[in-house]
């Protein structure tokens, strides 16, 4: 008899599920509560209800500038990572490459390299070739660390696509670029969107690499880390964290719903074809 099917097994699994949910979301709930607390000290009992910290966050020019910088870096680096990820994934799945395993390991190596080591390496590289630290250097670093995630999302989707669809387009006289634009790309759009969102959130939240190669414009994680050293800025940091988490959840849910709808439509088109 399967333990999971027994009465005690089901109770244990449900209890474990509740504990996991609490472990994941209870800190967020506490953060939300303290963002409305009328006190600079995040502690129970609460002092009262207030929106002052949200107003303070909205009028903080430095914080808004840091958010804007991180958004710009994340947008540029995620586009670059997705473009390179698409090219690499197509090459890995549609071309015969000598040493394919070695090439894949090289492309995925940023996953196992500590970000601190990678940040120091980039800092030394940019200093050696004379590139000053700026938004560009952060973008380059984030493209490298986001590229493996895009490849891991795109390769499985490309492997699911029947190669005969592309071969039929070649037989009808379509070029490789036309085939990719008209057949392959529409079929991998959900994976491209997912890869973009993963790369965007990875870049937006990244601290270790950016701390080494950032220029005069501070990113959002670096600003938050520096603000935590000042107790009077902690409440507005909590407020902006709640805003970022809420927006992230909305984007993730909307993207997942859109991905499922797109995959169902593309699946029906593939079956009809």
Percent of the chain having pLDDT more than 70? 91
Q: How many CB atoms lie within 10 A of CB 265?
A: 13
Q: Indicate if the pLDDT at residue 196 is higher than 50.
A: yes
Domains and CATH numbers, the chain: 52-272 (1.10.3720.10)
Rounded Cα distance between 144 and 90, Å, is 18
- The answer to whether the CB of 236 falls within 8 A of the CB of 53 is yes
Cα-to-chain-centroid distance, residue 172: 39
pLDDT at position 157, please? Answer: 84
pLDDT at position 248, please? Answer: 76
pLDDT at position 185, please? Answer: 80
Residue scoring higher pLDDT (34 or 261): 34
pLDDT at position 268, please? Answer: 64
Average pLDDT over residues 50-66: 81
Distances (CA, A) of 96 to 90, 92, 99: 11, 8, 9
Q: Indicate if the pLDDT at residue 105 is higher than 60.
A: yes
Q: Indicate if the pLDDT at residue 106 is higher than 90.
A: no
Query: Over the stretch 12-28, which tens digit does the pLDDT of each residue have?
Result: 888 888 898 888 888 88
Q: Indicate if the pLDDT at residue 231 is higher than 60.
A: yes
Q: Indicate if the pLDDT at residue 140 is higher than 60.
A: yes
- The answer to whether the CB of 73 falls within 8 A of the CB of 203 is yes
pLDDT at position 259, please? Answer: 65
Query: Over the stretch 25-41, which tens digit does the pLDDT of each residue have?
Result: 888 888 888 888 877 77
Helix (H, G, I), strand (E, B) or coil at 37: strand
Q: Indicate if the pLDDT at residue 2 is higher than 60.
A: no
Mean pLDDT, the chain, whole residue set: 81
Exposed, middle or buried, 131 (CB in 10 Å: 0-12/13-18/19+)?
Answer: middle
Q: Indicate if the pLDDT at residue 56 is higher than 90.
A: no
Q: What are phi and psi of 130, to 5 degrees?
A: 85, 25
Give the confidence band of 263 by pLDDT, cuts at 50, 70, 90.
Answer: low
Q: Is the full-model pTM beyond 0.85?
A: no
Give the confidence band of 1 by pLDDT, cuts at 50, 70, 90.
Answer: very low
Average pLDDT over residues 220-225: 85
């Amino acid at each position: 008899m399967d333990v999971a099917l027994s009465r005690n097994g089901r109770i244990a699994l449900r209890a474990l599920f509740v504990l996991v949910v609490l472990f994941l979301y209870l800190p967020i709930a506490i953060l939300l509560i303290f963002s409305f607390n009328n006190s600079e000290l995040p502690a129970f009992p609460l002092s009262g209800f207030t929106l002052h910290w949200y107003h303070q966050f909205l009028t903080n020019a430095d914080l808004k500038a840091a958010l804007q910088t991180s958004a710009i870096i994340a947008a540029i680096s995620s586009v670059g990572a997705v473009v390179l990820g698409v090219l690499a994934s197509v090459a890995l799945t549609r071309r015969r490459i000598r040493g394919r395993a070695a090439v894949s390991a090289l492309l995925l190596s940023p996953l196992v390299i500590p970000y601190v080591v990678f940040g120091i390496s980039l800092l030394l590289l940019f200093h050696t070739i004379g590139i000053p630290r700026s938004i560009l250097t952060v973008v380059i670093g984030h493209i490298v660390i986001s590229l493996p995630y895009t490849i891991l999302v795109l390769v499985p989707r490309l492997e699911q696509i029947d190669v005969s669809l592309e071969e039929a387009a070649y037989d009808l006289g379509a070029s490789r670029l036309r085939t990719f634009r008209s057949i392959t790309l529409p079929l991998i759009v959900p994976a491209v969107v997912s890869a973009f969102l993963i790369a965007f959130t990875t870049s937006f939240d990244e601290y270790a690499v950016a701390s080494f190669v950032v220029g005069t414009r501070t990113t959002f994680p670096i600003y938050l880390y520096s603000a935590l050293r000042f107790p009077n800025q902690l409440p507005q940091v909590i407020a902006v964290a709640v805003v970022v988490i809420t927006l992230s959840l909305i984007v993730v849910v909307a993207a997942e719903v859109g991905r499922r709808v797109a995959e169902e439509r593309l699946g029906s088109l593939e079956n009809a074809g």
